[in-house]
Amino acid sequence: LYFSAQDGILLFYHIKDLQYELKVCADISQPISSLIFSPDYTSLLLVTDQGPVYSYKPAYSGEAVKLLDTCSSCFLAADFLTPGNKHCVSVTISGEVQVWFLEDGTCLGKLNLGVEVHIT
């Protein structure tokens, strides 16, 4: 079970039978608004309240790597584009939808919806 706290720490509970172990996986020092697994469960996207999107690979137990950042508006949500896990789509509060290549953080395209976006 992966979850995050308000302080930007990604935590993992390993639960087996009646035993559990808590592990701190990554500390990005920014509130995490959502966690999204890739379709093959090899990568985890960490979307923050302040703009950046990070990637964490559970099998490697390394640090979270900043993939994307925005200057004009904060990301509201992001998700992997399937099939595969090399691309993701994001939307900003200002209504800009973007497609990203995750290996190097390149923005492949964007579309401005012309409206402010909210999650309900």
Assign residue 41 the CATH number of its domain.
2.130.10.10
CA dist., res. 85 & res. 16, Å (int): 29
Listed in sequence order, the residues at least 6 apart from 81 whose beta carbon sits closer than 8 Å to its beta carbon are: 87, 88, 89, 99
Phi/psi at 65 (5° precision) = -110, 130
> What total number of domains does the chain contain?
1
Is 119 inside any structural domain?
no
pTM reported for the whole predicted model = 0.70
pLDDT score at 32:
86
- Binned average pLDDT, 10 residues per bin, the chain of 120 residues: 83 88 87 86 82 82 75 72 83 86 83 84
Check residue 98 and give its pLDDT: 87
Residue 118: inside a domain: no
Rounded-to-10 torsion of CA 107, 112, 115, 120: -40
Q: Which two tokens stand for residue 55?
A: 């990637």
Domain that holds residue 71: 2-112
- Predicted pLDDT at 73: 61
